[in-house]
Structure 1
């Protein structure tokens, strides 16, 4: 895909569309189950910028800021919000099923907790993104599909 994505004879709009259709699905494979820490988020944003810089043939030694690159590409950072939307949609689906996946996803399994700092749960990342307050409120909201979709749409619209 490098020859297509870096070809100056093809419009930037078409090259971005090719990136969205062929590269991003590979990158986001299985993202519904990821817990995104700050470090992971920075790496994903850096990857997104790397793709854009390669498409525009901007060398890493060129002193251009990410904002300048985004302006040249006529776009904004969308990768994290796409991943979060997919996670929220999947989470709502799992919560409505009320099976074993529900227990695993919420982390409400019986037994002792391991020593050390506890791992971040998917629900914690989603409640922060959705600004839902407490995780129990988010779980209850998933029962009403229309309300859950509205909550996701508002979070995507805010672009966080």
Structure 2
């Protein structure tokens, strides 16, 4: 696989014992889809589909009105969301991806409350009925920040991959959003350099994560 921003991936011929390896656009490694465009869109789409399938398998429990909504929300958190958030520590959450994650979160709640699309209820009303506020994206950000703390303090190869830079000029046009940029905005400092300093203090880092999660920002 060759990871590139180009529309057509550059060709790369690799031979082992005179046998040419097949060049692929994507493959699954440890349950996670790796794409040649370097994005996580395909992986997130696959995770969303898997979560929806598993929700349907537990539909009789999750939509049972004889069971309290609090118990059903706990079941959703324990048995469905782990399928959705597997490997989320490496996701880059753009505005488009955030909207998609918020949409699947509301998809769960509307079906748990048995609200048909013809009811035309707003998301705010659905959240009030479920006695819940949006938490999926915040939970993902929290997991990313916690994982980043481990990586930065460990100071091994993962630290180099996360903070390393390429030589040369940036490509024209809008630059891709990076995980570090998203976390810097979510945590509050706004600058990646501030994060790299704060992450060294475990207690400070833990407080920053807790405050950002409590404030409900995404």
1:111-142 alpha-carbon deviations (Å, 9 max, x no partner): 44663443211110000001113111101111
Are residue 52 (structure 1) and residue 75 (structure 2) matched? no
Structural mapping, 1:1-150, within 5 Å: 1-106=58-163, 108-112=164-168, 115-116=171-172, 117-150=174-207
Deviation at residue 11 of structure 1 after TM alignment = 1.0
Q: Where does the alignment leave 5 or more consecutive residues of structure 1 unmatched?
A: none
Distance 1:113 1:104, change over 3 A: farther
Please say if residues 6 and 56 of structure 1, whose CA atoms lie closer than 8 Å, have aligned partners that are also in contact.
yes
CA distance in 1, matches of 2:190, 2:122: 35
Distance 1:127 1:49, change over 3 A: same
Q: Give the greater-gyration-radius structure (CA).
A: 2
What TM-score, normalized by structure 2, do the two folds share?
Answer: 0.70
> 1 or 2, which has the higher helix percentage?
1
CA distance in 2, matches of 1:64, 1:118: 37
> 1 or 2, which has the higher strand percentage?
2
Moved more, 97-106 or 126-135: 97-106
1:17-70 alpha-carbon deviations (Å, 9 max, x no partner): 000000011101111111100110001001000000000010122110111101
Please say if residues 105 and 122 of structure 1, whose CA atoms lie closer than 8 Å, have aligned partners that are also in contact.
no
Number of equivalent positions: 159
